Amino acid sequence: MWREYVREVTPYTPGEQPGGADVIKLNTNENPYPPCSGVARALKEFDCEALRRYPDPAVSKLRGAIASYHNLDMGNVFVGVGSDDVIAMCYMTFFNSDKPILFPDITYSFYDVWADEFKVPFTVKALNDDFRINKSDYYVENGGVIIPNPNAPTGIAEPVEFFEDILNHNRDSIVIIDEAYVDFGASSCIELLSKYDNLIVVRTFSKSRSMAGSRIGYALASEEIITALHNVKYSYNSYTMDSVTIKLGVEAIKDEKYFRDNLDKVICTRNWTRDRLNELGFQVFDSSANFLFVKPSGISAKALFEKLKERNIYVRYFNKPRIDNYLRISIGTDSEMQALIEAIAEII
Amino acid sequence: MWREYVREVTPYTPGEQPGGADVIKLNTNENPYPPCSGVARALKEFDCEALRRYPDPAVSKLRGAIASYHNLDMGNVFVGVGSDDVIAMCYMTFFNSDKPILFPDITYSFYDVWADEFKVPFTVKALNDDFRINKSDYYVENGGVIIPNPNAPTGIAEPVEFFEDILNHNRDSIVIIDEAYVDFGASSCIELLSKYDNLIVVRTFSKSRSMAGSRIGYALASEEIITALHNVKYSYNSYTMDSVTIKLGVEAIKDEKYFRDNLDKVICTRNWTRDRLNELGFQVFDSSANFLFVKPSGISAKALFEKLKERNIYVRYFNKPRIDNYLRISIGTDSEMQALIEAIAEII
């Protein structure tokens, strides 16, 4: 009889994680380059005996390092086990009205999943035909707003003024700007934090810091918002970030030169790939992320996805309305992207 | 106006985490000895470049290692970020009826916190005057049962037959036995898993494996239960256990000799401490955990707690009904416990 009360969810299947040395994996927006050398050093130097102790539940060292990096106070920083954890905590903490939260119809695939999970009503707002966000869609009464900048999987960014306008129309709601990919070429809304106490900017170490394997995400916001997040988080699970990860996270943001060089390389490879795909007749959206969103030419997205997979090249195909003839291609190394372009040229 | 919809919680204050080399920290049940040497080696040998990739969302290597250790299949194992995460997932997945879940009045302090968090009704069942569980309290209709064995903070264990009897009266409910401290001298209910498809046994690496800093907990249960847990977990946050922790966890259960020796040392020190406290006139409960639950003699628990703290010795005092004249003392090294006994002898 206990089966009657098992929570019903739509089982989510995580993206393919193919193994093997000859696989070219361009399907989950991972960074093609390793974390900075300080991370490797911190791993080697970590005092294993310290693991017998609980980690600092306040994660003060990492929050302090992130705060300094952004010229904020530690009281403006909340960290979580990846930005998925951070955003889920934001839903749980702030999206408790019976008005619907708003987000784009084409966007990060977890926004509606969390809404279902936490029983938060939501309304999706359709992107334009050119996959841009209509800011006036977000002028209506709502229980909260969440928008990624740049948006995913389109990669299209909007300027800070665009989000400031949305904030000005939403002084009564929490507005979350999900900046998972912002380092690859978009402008951050962090500068708006001092003016809007209802703004939450979410970031991750998974993409631009090459640390998807470490699960570090964070939110930047007013002290009042961060305190509310901590109250909910501590009441649920006080110790979520392990001691090794805290130390690696602190090291990961110390090496600004490596970080900038890494971003430059990815952006340069992205632009090269964009040009080649344009030459092959693909429609390629202007990307501010570490991926390209493209409409293939002379072949359906699904067929190209499958033919690439046969050659051990994995890109992302979405079997969803409006975008089922597009592919999302993560930016790998130069040689990986050359192999991709050659494979596509042969296939089409 | 967004403030109206902020989730209201009772802010939880994590236990004191005093720093400093001269502190004797006996307040959070941490293991006084380091993890096995394989964990340190795995840290040093970890390939940092792998961090650019997402971890395996199925955590197959660690689940496989835990399954082998317990002679079960990987499909019988769910892992989480500490046993707090595992139990919270169990609440979310299985405690969805409107009947109250049952647990002891004196027990792990998070059970009622999660019930509030997930809006699960609950009824607490009072322990006997000698702080034992009345099994017949759990014969009534309920929405689920959760009991630690040994119980905390009493340290008192019950035999497997005791829990089998509770299971036989609860074929319609999920019954969770929280075995966080079981390795220190209690009998495990794992042997009952093959007979009861509604049983969940929860374990942690934090105590007996000396890895509180790594945040590894797990549940053992029927494949049906584990699948339900995974469905909920994946719909919430697919990637929660980081790549380093997965590797360290695999190493931590390989060294059975170190594990047994570590347990023997803690148990031996516990028994020595129990005898000394008895000699000082304290009431000491029979403990199967890595802590002692004691009623001081000649001084109130609160006064002793404070006087020990002045000497940089931290034990745990609970300002709660029924147990506000007791202290929970974690088992440290021999020299730490000698220092404790000397300090207590001087104080009283």
Which residues of chain A does B232 touch, with a Cβ-Cβ cutoff of 8 Å?
7, 9
A72 Cα to chain B: minimum distance (Å): 23
C-alpha angle with apex A53: A41 to B79, nearest 5 degrees? 85
pLDDT of residue A237: 82
Secondary element (H or E) of residue A277: helix A256-279
Question: Are B30 and A53 within 8 A, CB to CB?
Answer: yes
b/e per residue, A21-45, with b = 16+ CB within 10 A?
eeebbbbbbbbbbbbbebbbebbee
Determine the residue of chain B that is closest to A236 in CA distance: B114
C-alpha angle with apex B84: B292 to A249, nearest 5 degrees? 110
Q: Write out the E strands in A115-205.
A: 122-125, 144-148, 175-178, 199-204
B113 Cα to chain A: minimum distance (Å): 7
Question: Are B93 and A32 within 8 A, CB to CB?
Answer: no
Residue of A51, A208, A240, A336 for testing the chain B interface, max B β-carbons within 10 Å: A51
Q: How many CA atoms lie within 13 A of A183 on its CB side?
A: 21
Determine the residue of chain B that is closest to A86 in CA distance: B237
Which residues of chain A does B10 touch, with a Cβ-Cβ cutoff of 8 Å?
235
b/e per residue, B61-100, with b = 16+ CB within 10 A?
ebbebbbeebebebebbbbbbbbbbbbbbbbbbbbbbebb
Which residues of chain A does B114 touch, with a Cβ-Cβ cutoff of 8 Å?
236
Question: Are B243 and A214 within 8 A, CB to CB?
Answer: yes
Question: Are B43 and A244 within 8 A, CB to CB?
Answer: yes
Which residues of chain B does A235 touch, with a Cβ-Cβ cutoff of 8 Å?
9-12, 113, 116-117
Which residues of chain B does A28 touch, with a Cβ-Cβ cutoff of 8 Å?
54
The closest CB to that of A93, out of B7, B11, B244, belongs to B7
ipTM of the complex: 0.95
Q: What is the mean pLDDT of chain B?
A: 95
pLDDT of residue A20: 77
b/e per residue, A271-285, with b = 16+ CB within 10 A?
eebbebbeebebebb
Question: Are B174 and A44 within 8 A, CB to CB?
Answer: no
pLDDT of residue B13: 65
What average pLDDT does the segment A186-199 reach?
97
pLDDT of residue A106: 97
Question: Are A14 and B114 within 8 A, CB to CB?
Answer: no
Determine the residue of chain B that is closest to A214 in CA distance: B242
Which residues of chain A does B79 touch, with a Cβ-Cβ cutoff of 8 Å?
none
B279 Cα to chain A: minimum distance (Å): 30
What average pLDDT does the segment A194-217 reach?
98
Which residues of chain A does B14 touch, with a Cβ-Cβ cutoff of 8 Å?
57-58, 234, 238-239
The closest CB to that of B242, out of A56, A88, A245, belongs to A245
The closest CB to that of A30, out of B52, B213, B228, belongs to B52
pLDDT of residue A1: 83
What average pLDDT does the segment A190-199 reach?
97
Question: Are B52 and A39 within 8 A, CB to CB?
Answer: no
pLDDT of residue A134: 97
Q: Does pLDDT of A11 surpass 90? A: no
Percent of chain A with pLDDT over 90: 89
How far is it, in rounded angstroms, from Cα B15 to Cα A238? 10
A295 Cα to chain B: minimum distance (Å): 26
* Predicted confidence band of residue A89 (pLDDT cuts 50, 70, 90): very high
pLDDT of residue A8: 82
What is the number of helices (H) and of strands (E) in chain B?
Answer: 10, 13
Q: Give the burial class of A346: count Cβ atoms within 10 A of its Cβ; 0-12 exposed, 13-18 middle, 19 or more buried.
A: exposed
How far is it, in rounded angstroms, from Cα B80 to Cα B28? 20
Residue with tokens 């009952």: B192
What the block records as the tokens of B72 is: 């079960």
* Predicted confidence band of residue A15 (pLDDT cuts 50, 70, 90): low
Which residues of chain A does B230 touch, with a Cβ-Cβ cutoff of 8 Å?
11
Which residues of chain B does A40 touch, with a Cβ-Cβ cutoff of 8 Å?
48
A244 Cα to chain B: minimum distance (Å): 7
CA B35 to each of CA A49, A241, B218, B259: distance values in angstroms, whole numbers, following the listed order: 7, 18, 18, 9
Question: Are A50 and B213 within 8 A, CB to CB?
Answer: yes
Q: What is the mean pLDDT of chain A?
A: 95
* This prediction's pTM: 0.95
b/e per residue, A2-12, with b = 16+ CB within 10 A?
beebbbebeeb
pLDDT of residue A116: 86
The closest CB to that of A242, out of B4, B84, B215, belongs to B215
Which residues of chain A does B96 touch, with a Cβ-Cβ cutoff of 8 Å?
5-7
Determine the residue of chain B that is closest to A40 in CA distance: B48
Of residues A272, A277, A240, the one with CA closest to residue A85? A240
Q: Does pLDDT of A278 surpass 90? A: yes
Of residues B100, B102, B106, the one with CA closest to residue B128? B106
List, for chain B, all residue ranges whose pLDDT scores fall below the cut of 50: none
Tell me the residue type at B296. Answer: P
How far is it, in rounded angstroms, from Cα A44 to Cα A278? 45
Question: Are B213 and A6 within 8 A, CB to CB?
Answer: no
The closest CB to that of A235, out of B52, B97, B113, belongs to B113
Secondary element (H or E) of residue B145: strand B144-148
Question: Are A82 and B33 within 8 A, CB to CB?
Answer: no
Residue of A48, A87, A225 for testing the chain B interface, max B β-carbons within 10 Å: A48
B281 Cα to chain A: minimum distance (Å): 31
Question: Are A213 and B242 within 8 A, CB to CB?
Answer: yes
